[in-house]
């Protein structure tokens, strides 16, 4: 397999060399260039171009601009000495599964998109070396080794990828080595707006199986940037929120490409005990627990896991890795959320509270920002942040969560029970309905106002059964509130069961349609 040549520039017409007929050629949809960097790789590509066995191939090789000048003896840039380079573009999707680009020498039975040498070459064993693909959720570009004969060395990441190993391509310039060949993969676009539109279209043209798949979060960058920071196994993109005691950032796992959130606590010496308690409680909860956001991994700035928390300096950074949540109960687009979805989210966090109480844990900081929504399309929510939590069923500490979401007995009694979590959850659920925002610490008059507002919503924009349940959860006397287990048995959740049954039927039909679509035409080839 060979590929057609374009003499072009990825940036603008002024930099694009002209053909003999006077027309300028360039590829405005290019997002990366793969350039041979050492002699064996450059010679192999020149040899392929000279043969031009298949000029109608869908992939592109481009003559490097100013290649003749760059090839002068005084040039020190190895890649700059190459005459040709490969162009990666979204308008030329790869032939692999979900549009992945396959590279290697190719063979009669295993065609590749990026052919680095002749199929008859003995420099590589096997037709396929690796693939480059766009992660279906995060949108980042990932390199995977699919060869059992050759490893791929990702030089800047200081990692050697064996068979089926993956790694995010997280640098603007990435040096790769396989067999005797050295290549540099450089990311860059003429227009990020154009690339964003092309990427959105690419993801919706049937290359990905899930037609309803959510687009990557806007806080994730389109392409690698020099500002990206690697912390442990996480590639940090941007900051979500920042405070005096820490920061929450969005990134991707460098191996899988999955979207994650990294919470970094600036732990001073006097904060060690509190931080240890938070980590101990969060780590004790199984990651499969329904309704609780799992703590995936923890480590300190020294690289120890669990964190050593034995700093000799004033402050030590402790990192907590969790799934990324697009929304919490404070900023979710509630007016646009169907009631069945809303109830499913409510029920999940109530299940989470039931599971915490069953494990002997009081959360003590239930509030909108600590209830995360991991997905709206397939409703999934969970409780996070165990900084105020404790083991047991009673407490006396008054410094808990936001005062406006704290149960009244915390201020009125010396001791309180885990019923304070039920009250806080009821207030948080109520807050998701328009027209009410808690403003101050709960007392008798503000409690009366809350119940009055709840009554005004019941049967109008809130199902009557849900209104009745919330009223019981917001009882002034903690003894009158249901436990989380009792609340889950309430008939308010019958609508959730009906909706889930309906969704199951719809999903089955959708799956059948997708199978029929795939059966009616050729499927993208998977690497072998």
How many alpha carbons fall within 13 Å on the CB side of residue 362?
A: 21
Phi first, then psi: give them for residue 126, nearest 5 degrees. Answer: 90, 150
**pLDDT of 305 over the 90 cut:** no
Domain boundary among 203, 227, 253: 203
**pLDDT of 272 over the 90 cut:** no
pLDDT-derived band at 499, boundaries 50, 70, 90: low
pLDDT tens for 392-411 read: 999 998 888 899 999 999 98
Residue 513 lies in a domain: no
CA distance 212 to 155: 37
Residue 217 lies in a domain: no
Q: Are residues 351 and 266 in the same domain?
A: no
Lowest mean pLDDT of 33-37, 64-68, 100-104, 262-266, name the range. 64-68
Q: Are residues 19 and 91 in the same domain?
A: yes
Q: Are residues 256 and 337 in the same domain?
A: no
* Spatial contact of 389 and 365, defined as CB atoms under 8 Å apart: yes
pLDDT of residue 7: 35
Tokens of 422: 């039920």
Q: Are residues 188 and 252 in the same domain?
A: no
Tokens of 304: 């120890």
Residue 247 lies in a domain: yes
pLDDT tens for 184-243 read: 999 999 888 889 888 888 877 655 545 556 778 889 998 999 999 999 899 999 999 887
Q: Is 29 helix (H, G, I), strand (E, B) or coil?
A: coil
Q: Are residues 54 and 121 in the same domain?
A: yes
- Percent of the chain at pLDDT > 70 equals 82
Q: Are residues 124 and 242 in the same domain?
A: no
End-to-end CA distance of the chain: 17
CA distance 114 to 87: 9
Write down the H helix ranges in 255-372.
Answer: 272-284, 339-358
Residue 213 lies in a domain: no
Residue 244 lies in a domain: yes
Q: Are residues 315 and 268 in the same domain?
A: yes
Write down the H helix ranges in 289-443.
Answer: 339-358, 409-412, 419-431
> What is the extent of the structural domain holding 262?
237-323
pLDDT-derived band at 22, boundaries 50, 70, 90: very low
Q: Span 171-178, mean pLDDT?
A: 97
Instruction: Count CB neighbours of 391 within 10 A.
Output: 12
Decide which of 334 and 208 is more confident. 334
Q: Are residues 332 and 436 in the same domain?
A: yes
Provide the number of structural domains found in the chain.
Answer: 3
pLDDT tens for 420-459 read: 999 999 999 999 997 677 777 889 999 999 999 999 999 9
pLDDT of residue 329: 97
Q: Span 49-62, mean pLDDT?
A: 65
Q: Are residues 177 and 64 in the same domain?
A: yes
Measured between alpha carbons, how far is residue 369 from residues 202, 213, 241 in Å?
Answer: 34, 25, 12
Residue 117 lies in a domain: yes
Domain boundary among 154, 181, 203: 203
pLDDT tens for 80-90 read: 688 999 999 98
Q: Span 470-475, mean pLDDT?
A: 98
Tokens of 187: 């990311």
Render the burial of 479-496: b for 16+ CB within 10 Å, e for the rest: eebbebeebeebebbebb
Q: Are residues 333 and 299 in the same domain?
A: no
**pLDDT of 509 over the 70 cut:** no
Q: Are residues 417 and 343 in the same domain?
A: yes
**pLDDT of 521 over the 50 cut:** no
Highest mean pLDDT: which of 326-335, 495-504, 514-523?
Answer: 326-335
> Which CATH number does the domain housing residue 475 bear?
1.10.510.10
CA distance 231 to 387: 23
Q: Span 296-308, mean pLDDT?
A: 87
Query: What pTM did the predictor assign?
Result: 0.80
Residue 210 lies in a domain: no
**pLDDT of 115 over the 70 cut:** yes
> Which CATH number does the domain housing residue 256 bear?
3.30.200.20
Q: Are residues 358 and 273 in the same domain?
A: no
């Amino acid at each position: 397999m060979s590929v057609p040549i374009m003499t072009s520039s990825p940036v603008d017409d002024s930099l694009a060399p002209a053909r003999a007929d006077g027309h300028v050629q360039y590829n405005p949809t290019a997002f990366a260039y793969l350039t041979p960097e050492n002699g064996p790789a450059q010679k192999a590509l020149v040899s392929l171009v000279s043969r031009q066995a298949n000029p109608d191939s869908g992939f592109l090789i481009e003559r490097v601009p100013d290649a003749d000048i760059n090839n002068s003896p005084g040039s020190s840039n190895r890649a700059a000495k190459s005459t040709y380079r490969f162009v990666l573009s979204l308008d030329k999707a790869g032939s692999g599964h979900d549009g992945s680009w396959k590279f290697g020498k190719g063979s009669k039975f295993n065609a590749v998109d990026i052919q680095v040498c002749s199929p008859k070459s003995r420099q590589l064993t096997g037709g396929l070396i690796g693939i480059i693909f766009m992660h279906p959720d995060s949108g980042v570009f990932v390199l995977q080794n699919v060869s059992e004969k050759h490893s791929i060395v990702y030089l800047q990441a200081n990692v050697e990828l064996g068979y089926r190993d993956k790694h995010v391509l997280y640098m603007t310039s990435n040096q790769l080595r396989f067999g005797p060949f050295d290549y540099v993969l450089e990311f860059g676009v003429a227009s990020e707006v154009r690339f964003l539109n092309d990427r959105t279209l690419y993801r919706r043209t049937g290359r990905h199986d899930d037609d309803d798949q959510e687009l990557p979060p806007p806080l994730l960058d389109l392409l690698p940037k020099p500002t990206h920071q690697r912390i442990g196994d996480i590639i940090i993109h941007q900051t979500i929120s920042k405070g005096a005691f820490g920061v929450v950032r969005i990134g991707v796992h460098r191996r899988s490409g999955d979207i994650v959130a990294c919470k970094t606590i600036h732990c001073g010496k006097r904060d060690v005990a509190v931080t240890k308690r938070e980590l101990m409680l969060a780590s004790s909860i199984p990651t499969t627990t329904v309704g609780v956001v799992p703590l995936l991994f923890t480590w300190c700035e020294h690289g120890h896991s669990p964190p050593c928390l034995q700093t000799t300096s004033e402050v030590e950074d402790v990192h907590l890795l969790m799934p990324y949540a697009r929304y919490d109960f404070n900023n979710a687009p509630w007016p646009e959320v169907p009631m069945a979805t809303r109830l499913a989210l409510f029920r999940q966090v109530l299940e989470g509270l039931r599971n915490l109480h069953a494990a002997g844990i009081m959360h003590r900081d239930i509030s909108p920002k600590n209830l995360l929504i991991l997905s709206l399309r397939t409703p999934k929510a969970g409780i996070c942040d165990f900084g105020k939590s404790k083991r047991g069923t009673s407490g006396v500490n008054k410094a808990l969560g936001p005062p406006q979401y704290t149960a009244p007995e915390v201020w009125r009694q010396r001791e309180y029970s885990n019923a304070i979590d039920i009250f806080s959850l009821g207030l948080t659920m109520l807050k998701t309905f328009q027209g009410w925002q808690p403003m101050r610490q709960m007392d008798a008059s503000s409690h009366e106002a809350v119940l009055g507002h709840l009554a005004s919503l019941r049967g109008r924009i809130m199902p009557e059964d849900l209104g009745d349940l919330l009223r019981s959860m917001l009882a002034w006397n903690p003894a009158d509130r249901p436990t989380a287990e009792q609340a889950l048995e309430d008939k308010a959740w019958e609508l959730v069961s009906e909706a889930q049954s309906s969704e199951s039927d719809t999903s089955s039909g959708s799956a059948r349609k997708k199978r029929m679509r795939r059966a009616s035409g050729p499927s993208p080839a998977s690497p072998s």
